[in-house]
Amino acid sequence: MEDLFQVGELTAAVGSKVQGYLAVSGCDIKLPITLINGAKAGKTVVITGGTHGGEYPGIETAVRLARDLMPADVCGQVAIVHPVNIPAFFAKTQYVGPYDNKNLNREYPGKALGTVTERIAYTISSQLFTQADFYLDLHGGDIHENLTPFVFYSTLGSSESSQLAKEAAKVMGIEYVIPSSSNNGAFGCAAAMNVPAILSEIGGCGLWSEEEVQTYLAGVNNLLRFIGTLDGNVLDLGKSEELSPMGGLNAEQTGLWYPTVGLKEKVVVGQKVGEIRDCFGKVLGEYFAPKDGIILYVISSLAINIGDPLLAYC
């Protein structure tokens, strides 16, 4: 076990907890971070909340974990960033950051000399993923998204790494578990570095509730028990159903979006799932299910732009 847990300019000795800010080089952005160096040996776990600024259940969960986890209860080290995309959080933007209009979850591993968003991604990947034995990215439907809870596990690492991620995802008590080979997000980047990685989703529409946060906290603490970071037995929080990889539809027109399906609705190939109209009510485009599946999230905003996601299904 390392005597010191160091990230940026912050250092936590064994049995200590340190809170402060992780500076992003080359700009004035500083990320709120908590380092917990447990009293006993164990794995290093990295947790981020707020990759997107409006995903509030994950952000509040990360804040509470950072407040409540204590070194005496931890085996190994835990680093929590809360939130990671602090510019987008305070700007209250959906998907993208205010400095460069880039989606943080599409910029990993980032660039040391890039734009602000690229530099944030580089800071996380270089300072934290390089030390991690496990990575958990806490998401929730963004300001314009409505979703049913689900969790991705990445299949990009070794078979052992992917299997651990899958098993960990299943103990969170979230209804749907989905494999992902995506390599353009934070958890895909970590997995490509052979760090078992999962991305969880609870909540949406720029809202958060105490019930959602408590569900999240129960799942994260159960995951930490599963990987040995917290002592205690793994609880049965409910069985998860594993689905096929996710697919989705993107807008081909700019206009007003009118979905005709709801969350968890089962659709069949060829079924109409929505349409985009112009400001006079004229239909610009109709959208149909490309395969049988279950609707996992639907964009809830009326306004839509070319290229925007509309919905996702498994």
CATH number, residue 173 = 3.40.630.10
Short-list 186, 136, 139, 125, CA closest to 165: 136
Short-list 312, 302, 81, CA closest to 180: 312
Strands 145-147 and 293-299: antiparallel
Short-list 39, 157, 98, 301, CA closest to 311: 301
Domain end, chosen from 218, 242, 266, is at 242
- Residues 220/282, Cβ–Cβ less than 8 Å: no
* Dihedral Cα 82, 301, 104, 197, nearest 10 deg: 70
Q: What CATH number has the domain bearing residue 285?
A: 2.40.50.100
Same domain, 47 and 174: yes
Short-list 305, 83, 71, CA closest to 208: 83
The alpha-carbon radius of gyration of the chain (Å, integer) is: 19
Short-list 88, 310, 40, 120, CA closest to 206: 88
Same domain, 63 and 197: yes
Token representation of residue 199: 């991305």
Token representation of residue 35: 């380092």
Domain end, chosen from 222, 242, 262, is at 242
Return all residues near 309 (Cβ < 8 A) that are at least 6 apart.
Answer: 248, 249, 250, 251, 299
Same domain, 41 and 152: yes
Spatial separation of the C-alpha atoms in residues 172 and 187, rounded to whole Å: 17
Same domain, 11 and 141: yes
Look up residue 50 and give its amino acid. G
From the centroid of its chain, how far is CA 192? 16
Spatial separation of the C-alpha atoms in residues 14 and 21, rounded to whole Å: 20
pLDDT score, position 2: 56
Same domain, 179 and 130: yes
Token representation of residue 281: 């009510």
From the centroid of its chain, how far is CA 148? 14
Number of domains forming the structure of the chain: 2
Domain end, chosen from 211, 242, 273, is at 242
Same domain, 266 and 307: yes
pLDDT score, position 257: 98
Distance from the first to the final alpha carbon of the chain: 42
Averaged over successive runs of 10 residues, the pLDDT of the chain (314 residues) comes to 86 98 96 97 97 97 98 98 97 94 96 97 98 97 94 96 97 97 93 97 95 98 98 94 95 98 97 98 98 96 96 96
| 272-307: b (≥16 Cβ within 10 Å) or e | ebbbbbeeeeeeeeebebeeebbbbbbbbbeebeee
Same domain, 179 and 290: no
pLDDT score, position 151: 98
pLDDT score, position 1: 46
Note down the domain range covering 116.
4-242
Token representation of residue 22: 């992780």
Angle at alpha carbon of residue 46, lines to 196 and 311, rounded to 5°: 70
